[in-house]
Chains A and B, each alone.
Chain A
Amino acid sequence: GENVEQHPSTLSVQEGDSAVIKCTYSDSASNYFPWYKQELGKRPQLIIDIRSNVGEKKDQRIAVTLNKTAKHFSLHITETQPEDSAVYFCAASIDNAGNMLTFGGGTRLMVKP
């Protein structure tokens, strides 16, 4: 089955700096890659996603890049703010009847004011 690895497990940045989180996946059939932000005790909230027919997507301070050949995708957050502090999960999915998401291990992002 699919395996998603996520790095780093913790990331500490100064407010205003950029943060980059990287994920690799194992199943070349995966074609949907969402990123979730999870605050303590809350649900995973979708922040951005990318499908395999594009290589890059941007939404204000957040961007995601996908390299299908290398089977990796990355989340980029620019001009980080203290409210960006949370755990971020990447996930991968194959477009089939199951539509299961396989999650990475998570990155705890801490933005210091």
Chain B
Amino acid sequence: EPEVTQTPSHQVTQMGQEVILRCVPISNHLYFYWYRQILGQKVEFLVSFYNNEISEKSEIFDDQFSVERPDGSNFTLKIRSTKLEDSAMYFCASSERAWGYGYTFGSGTRLTVV
């Protein structure tokens, strides 16, 4: 079964440092997403990306965050200057098309900001 792959699985960074989280979506999928989950809480939407541009973003996705699809296969989330409250599990997801078809989550990157 096709998978969404995320690297690294765990990242520890100093407060104020930049981090890049990487994702390889399923190859024939057209929609890409980032979500985050603070420990013990619900999954929260960050951003969706379609046709090489952001299609929707939440209030969490402020100027510190950016996304990119640099080479047609990777999909990255950059946090420019990390804060302690950015510590969470970050999930990438992709879907084949709209209306939820093939919506699949990656295994996540646990980001710890110290």
Task: Kindly list chain A residues whose C-beta atoms are within 8 Å of the C-beta of B100.
Answer: 32, 34, 49, 51, 93, 95, 99
Instruction: Please tell me if the beta carbons of A32 and B107 are within 8 angstroms of each other in the complex.
Output: no
Task: Kindly list chain B residues whose C-beta atoms are within 8 Å of the C-beta of A19.
Answer: none
Closest to A33 in B: B100
Task: Kindly list chain A residues whose C-beta atoms are within 8 Å of the C-beta of B33.
Answer: 99-100
Q: Does A65 make an interface contact (CB < 8 A)?
A: no
Within 8 A of A (CB), among B15-52: 31, 33, 35, 41-45, 48, 50
Size band of the A side of the interface? 20 to 34
Chain B positions 97 through 111: 1 when the CB is less than 8 Å from some CB of chain A, otherwise 0: 011100111111000
Q: How many residues of B contact A (CB 8 A)?
A: 24
Task: Kindly list chain B residues whose C-beta atoms are within 8 Å of the C-beta of A34.
Answer: 100, 103
Distance, CA A89 to CA B107, complexed state (A) = 16
Q: Does B55 make an interface contact (CB < 8 A)?
A: yes
Q: Does B73 make an interface contact (CB < 8 A)?
A: no
Instruction: Please tell me if the beta carbons of B43 and A100 are within 8 angstroms of each other in the complex.
Output: no
Q: Does B95 make an interface contact (CB < 8 A)?
A: yes
Task: Kindly list chain B residues whose C-beta atoms are within 8 Å of the C-beta of A100.
Answer: 33, 45, 48, 56, 58
Q: List 10 A-B contacts (CB under 8 A).
A: A42-B108, A43-B107, A45-B105, A91-B43, A97-B98, A98-B55, A99-B56, A99-B98, A99-B99, A100-B56
Residues of A within 8 A of B (CB): 31-32, 34, 36, 42-46, 49, 51, 89, 91, 93, 95-106
